Amino acid sequence: MSAEIFAKVKQVIEEIESAIPQDVDQLEKFRIRFLGSKNIIKPMMGEIRNIANEQKREFGQLVNSAKQIAEQKFQNLKSAVESAAESAKAQDIDLTAPAEPLALGARHPISITMNRIVDIFSRIGFTVAEEREIEDDWYNFTAMNTPENHPARDMQDTYYLKGSAETLLRTHTSSVQARVMTTQQPPIRIIAPGRVYRNETVSARSHCQFHQIEGLYVDENVSFADLKQTLLYFAKEMYGPETKIRLRPSFFPFTEPSAEMDVYMGTADEKSYRLTKGTGWLEVLGCGMVDPQVLTNCGIDAEKYTGFAFGIGIERSAMQFYDISDIRLLFENDVRFLDQFKSAL
């Protein structure tokens, strides 16, 4: 008789232990069954009168433990079910609510200007070549026919890397010419956009870092007329179809003959007057026919091939185009400044 009653209680304990209420409703059912005012454990205590005296104590403990197990389980499940309900509520998103605006970035005016120039030359078959900013002396100077005692090689003008007379921050993108010509044979038709460094005092008009786009064209029968026509095409695409250019004789160690190209802005408006210092002409780039010695230095047959090269300064164009009065603004990365170019391209 006692054994049967014991077994009944144990069965209830098993039932409590194996119950897994999944939601608030099921949990409530669990509570009513085992802990409510008419729970099934309570009447079991009454059975104690049918238990033999020496087992009464044990029986009482067993029934109590059933109660405790039920209570404990209920508390645990309650907090689990409640937090599940909380997070379900959090996921209850209103899909019709207006979206938070996405904070879109803006391209840097230097990038916009470089992309425009790259695009113009891509259309006539130039491909982009990008190279390192930390360069060997040979590619930056020696290959480019800049003699040992040339002022450009001076420590005053060039950033050499600590403890090295051979490694420097490139002073112009012309180093890419040497990189390309030592690894490729003509026909070569590349443009190389990138950053360059010179040890200059930072002011509103000049900076110790700036950007250039190098152009290089090497093939059979490339002439100065080809250079001039290519640059005229560039100027018209960049500054408008009516643009006039002029080439002034100049000097670079790696081109012969060399020239500087100006575009005609006129003096009609105040901005053009100021930019051109009253002449109407704005200096845009340096260029020339690749010196045969440079071809030879790089392992290209100077008897067979000729070429032209040019180097365009980016900052000046960007500042002119966007009316930026101080070059330092381009390197401060002030979001209030950069934000203004959102609609630019």
Tokens of 141: 């100077």
Binding range to ligand PHE, per CB under 6 A, among 34-42, 240-248, 283-291, 325-333: 283-291
> Counting contacts by CB under 6 A, is residue 194 touching ligand PHE?
no
**Shortest separation between residue 296's beta carbon and ligand PHE, angstroms:** 17
HEC assignment per residue over 3-58: HHHHHHHHHHHHHHHHCCCCCHHHHHHHHHHHHCCCCCCHHHHHHHHHCCHHHHHH
Our finding on whether 211 is near ligand PHE (CB under 6 A) is no
> Among residues 44 and 287, whose Cβ is nearest to ligand PHE?
287
In angstroms, the CA 125 to CA 190 distance is: 8
Stretch that binds ligand PHE, among 31-39, 156-164, 183-191, 280-288 (CB under 6 A): 280-288
Q: Which residue is nearest to ligand PHE (CB)?
A: 311
Beta bridge partners of 288: 258, 309
Burial of 89 (0-12, 13-18, 19+ CB in 10 A): exposed
Closest to ligand PHE by CB, 287 or 314: 287
Residue 286 · residue 310 · CB < 8 Å: yes
34 vs 310, which CB is nearer to ligand PHE? 310
Please give the Cα distance from 272 to 229 (Å, whole number): 25
The contact mask relative to ligand PHE for 288-317 (x = CB under 6 A, - = no) is x--------------------xxx------
Q: How many CB atoms lie within 10 A of CB 28?
A: 13
Residue from 218, 235, 263, 287 touching ligand PHE (CB under 6 A): that is 287
Tell me how far, at minimum, the Cβ of 290 lies from ligand PHE, in Å. 8
Cα–Cα distances in Å, from 32 out to 35, 62, 64, 132, 208? 6, 20, 17, 77, 81
Q: Does 193 bind ligand PHE (CB under 6 A)?
A: no
Nearer CB in complex with ligand PHE: 197/310: 310
Q: Which of residues 247-266 bind ligand PHE (CB under 6 A)?
A: 252, 255
Q: Given candidates 140, 174, 276, 297, which one binds ligand PHE under the rule CB under 6 A?
A: 174
Contact assessment for residue 43 and residue 9, using Cβ atoms and an 8 Å cutoff = no
Instruction: In whole angstroms, give the CA distance from residue 1 to residue 14.
Output: 20
- Shortest distance, position 244 Cβ to ligand PHE, whole Å: 21
Shortest separation between residue 287's beta carbon and ligand PHE, angstroms: 5
End-to-end CA distance of the chain: 92
Which residues contact ligand PHE (rule: CB under 6 A)? 172, 174, 214, 252, 255, 286-288, 309-311
